[in-house]
Chains A and B, each alone.
Chain A
Amino acid sequence: EIVLTQSPGTLSLSPGERATLSCRASQSVTREYLAWFQQKPGQAPRLLIFGASSRATGIPDRFSGSGSGTDFTLAISRLEPEDFAVYYCHQYASSPWTFGQGTKVEIK
Chain B
Amino acid sequence: QITLKESGPTLVKPTQTLTLTCTLSGVSVTSSGVGVGWIRQPPGKALEWLALIYWDDDKRYNPFLKSRLTITKDTSKNQVVFTMTNMDPVDTATYYCARRIVGSTSFDYWGQGTLVTVSS
Residues on A lying within 8 angstroms of B by beta carbon are 1, 31-33, 35, 37, 44-47, 50-51, 54, 56-57, 88, 90, 92, 95-102
User: In the complex, what distance in Å separates the CA atom of A35 from the CA atom of B104?
Assistant: 9
Q: Is the CB of A50 within 8 A of B105?
A: yes
Residues of chain A with a CB closer than 8 A to B49's CB: 90, 96-99
Q: Is the CB of A100 within 8 A of B106?
A: no
B96: nearest chain-A partner, CB-CB: A44
| Interface size of B in residues (CB-CB distance below 8 Å) | 20
Q: Is the CB of A92 within 8 A of B106?
A: yes
Given A50-B105, A95-B60, A44 and B111 contact (CB-CB distance below 8 Å): yes
Q: Measured between C-beta atoms, what is the minimum distance from A66 to chain B in Å?
A: 15
CB contacts under 8 Å to A, within B30-60, are 46-49, 60
Q: In the complex, which of the residues B46, B96, B100, B106 contacts A102, with contact meaning CB atoms closer than 8 Å?
A: B46
User: In the complex, what distance in Å separates the CA atom of A101 from the CA atom of B60?
Assistant: 22
Q: In the complex, which of the residues B98, B106, B112 contacts A50, with contact meaning CB atoms closer than 8 Å?
A: B106
